[in-house]
Amino acid sequence: MTDRNTGGTEQSPRRRGQGELEAQVLAALRQAPGAVTAAWVQERLGGDLAYTTVMTILTRLHAKGAVARERAGRSFEWTAVADKAGLAALRMRRVLDGESDREAVLASFVTALSARDERLLRELLAQEPGDEEH
Amino acid sequence: MGVFVFLPLVLPLTAWPIARLAEQHLHPRAATWLLTGVAGVLAVCSTLCLALLMVVGTAQLPGNPLPDGWSDPEVREAVPYDEVAGKVAIPALIAVIASCVRAAWRHHRVRRRAERALEGLPATPVAVVPDAMPYAYALPGRRDRIVVTTAMLTGLNSVERRALFAHERAHLTHRHHRFLLTVQLAARANPFLRPLRTAVSYTAERWADEDAATQVGSRRTVATAIGKSALFSRGAPIATLAHATGGPVPRRVAALLGPAPAGRIWPPVFTAVGMAAWAAAAGTTASALSSANSAITLFFILHAATPM
């Protein structure tokens, strides 16, 4: 949902670019010797990106939980939390959150339960006790 | 012709009882095929009818590029309330086309974006992603994949995981996304077909459940796997639709705990269910045929009115 709201006016090529940049920044952070500053990341990426862009991407990654930050003086020092698989999970989550009726596209293993469903389900499963390991 | 011209637009209503019966009494595979086919045919007839009504409507508008013959009194006589019907048909058809294009485009966008999200991971048939939110999806594409989170896997024991993978593989091998896309487009072409969409998304799940049960060799294991994952996924935003009445998950579990569905395609005639099913099937067939008939008749009238 959030991606859709904030990125609603952007064109998809630009959004794709954001995803790639996130992966690049995360990869750079993972190669860092420890907690590093945004300037270090910017330098590591070859300096093609503006400092503000790097900051924006780091903030986005932080919002997703892919990186952690720590205040060091007047700026932040950043460390990677997620790896490739973690970033894939975050991206996947973003795809799923962005689609209100994704059931129509991706068949989910289970769908949401209402309170009544839950009670029904517990009753059904209770009829077959202790048979989960067979 | 009279009001029969409008039949294809309302006849999808007659598919409701058959959706109900098929869902409950047919093997899920047969039900999925049948209901998707019915939805497809009725949607095409309905859209064709709308397109022809639109032609009658637009032919009256000044400055239109259509043959003059199409606004002939003869043609307009074939369509009752032609002025209103024709003009209503224009925005309706535009809305249908826009909605269908949007749905198809979104379908492809979700698949493309999901595929891209997994780029960088090893190209294995199962992509396990570390996430505290339990979910599992079958992702059709150039390389079919199953996406499952670590949270989902930790909640299940090894047999239940096999059931989960078998279920998702069944979605992929039977190309369930095509059925789902068809009924989704049909529901957008004619809102009366929405119950068929709901029915097919349920029967497709049931089909995958039964397939998984055969693979794993235990219907109860599949039932437990579904039940457990639904219970621990509770609260996770896996679906935005709230089910007012008994939702699909308890029904799937109940179906798996019950007897296996008969392999036969259709219930025998001389039972209550059989009679009802045959009556509903006959009704639906008649509707589909008369829909097609109305659409074709209108087409011929227009064709005859056009000097070739």
Nearest to A117 among B159, B224, B247 (CB): B247
**Domain membership flag for residue B266:** no
Q: Which residue of A11, A110, A133 to mutate against B (max B Cβ within 10 Å)?
A: A110
Mean of pLDDT values over B223-251: 65
pTM for the structure as a whole = 0.77
Q: What is the ipTM of this complex?
A: 0.71
The closest alpha carbon to B239, from A108, A77, A59, A7, belongs to A108
**CB-CB neighbors (< 8 A) of A22 in chain B:** none
Encode pLDDT of A56-75 as tens digits.
989 988 887 788 999 888 88
Percent of chain B residues past pLDDT 90, beyond the cut? 25
**Domain membership flag for residue B153:** yes
**Residue B2 pLDDT class (50, 70, 90 cuts):** low
Encode pLDDT of B67-91 as tens digits.
666 666 666 666 666 677 777 888 8
Nearest to B234 among A93, A101, A113 (CB): A113
**Domain membership flag for residue B297:** yes
**Residue B133 pLDDT class (50, 70, 90 cuts):** confident
Mean of pLDDT values over B148-167: 91
Please answer yes or no on whether B160 and A132 come within 8 Å at the CB atom.
yes
More confident residue, A126 or B200: B200
pLDDT at B241: 31
More confident residue, B234 or B256: B256
**CB-CB neighbors (< 8 A) of B129 in chain A:** 85-86, 88-89, 92
SS3 for chain B is: CHHHHHHHHHHHHHHHHHHHHHHHHCCHHHHHHHHHHHHHHHHHHHHHHHHHHHHHHHHHCCCCCCCHHHHCHHHHHHCCCHHHHHHHHHHHHHHHHHHHHHHHHHHHHHHHHHHHHCCCCCCCCEEEECCCCCCEEEECCCCCEEEEEHHHHHCCCHHHHHHHHHHHHHHHHCCHHHHHHHHHHHHHHCHHHHHHHHHHHHHHHHHHHHHHHHHHCCHHHHHHHHHHHHHHCCCCCCCCCCCCCCCHHHHHHHHHHCCCCCCCCCCCCCCHHHHHHHHHHHHHHHHHHHHHHHHHHHHHHHHHHCCC
Strand partners, B136: B148
pLDDT at A19: 67
**Domain membership flag for residue B265:** no
**Residue A17 pLDDT class (50, 70, 90 cuts):** low
Beta strand pairing status for B145-149 and B126-129? Answer: parallel
Please answer yes or no on whether A109 and B164 come within 8 Å at the CB atom.
yes
Encode pLDDT of A36-61 as tens digits.
998 888 888 887 788 898 999 899 88
Distance from CA of B12 to the nearest CA of A (A): 20
pLDDT at B104 over 60: yes
> Long-range contacts of range A32-36, CB-CB < 8 Å, 24 or more positions apart?
A32/A79, A32/A80, A34/A79, A35/A70, A35/A72, A35/A77, A35/A78, A35/A79, A36/A77, A36/A78, A36/A79
**Domain membership flag for residue B273:** no
SS3 A31: helix
pLDDT at B293: 78
Encode pLDDT of A68-127 as tens digits.
999 888 889 998 888 878 888 888 887 877 765 555 556 667 777 777 888 888 888 887
The closest alpha carbon to B140, from B175, B185, B94, belongs to B175
Which domains are seen in chain A, by residue range?
2-104 (1.10.10.10)
Main-chain phi, psi angles of B163, to 5 degrees: -60, -45
**Domain membership flag for residue B67:** yes
**Domain membership flag for residue B268:** no
pLDDT at B307: 60
Name B30's Cβ contacts closer than 8 Å, sequence gap at least 6: B22, B265, B266
User: Whole domain around residue B297: which residue ranges?
Assistant: 2-238+245-260+279-305
Nearest to B149 among A89, A111, A133 (CB): A89
Percent of chain A residues past pLDDT 70, beyond the cut? 72
Average pLDDT, chain B: 81
Please answer yes or no on whether A105 and B224 come within 8 Å at the CB atom.
no
pLDDT at A21: 80
Could you give the number of structural domains in chain B?
Answer: 1
pLDDT at B285: 78
More confident residue, B1 or B148: B148
**Domain membership flag for residue B182:** yes
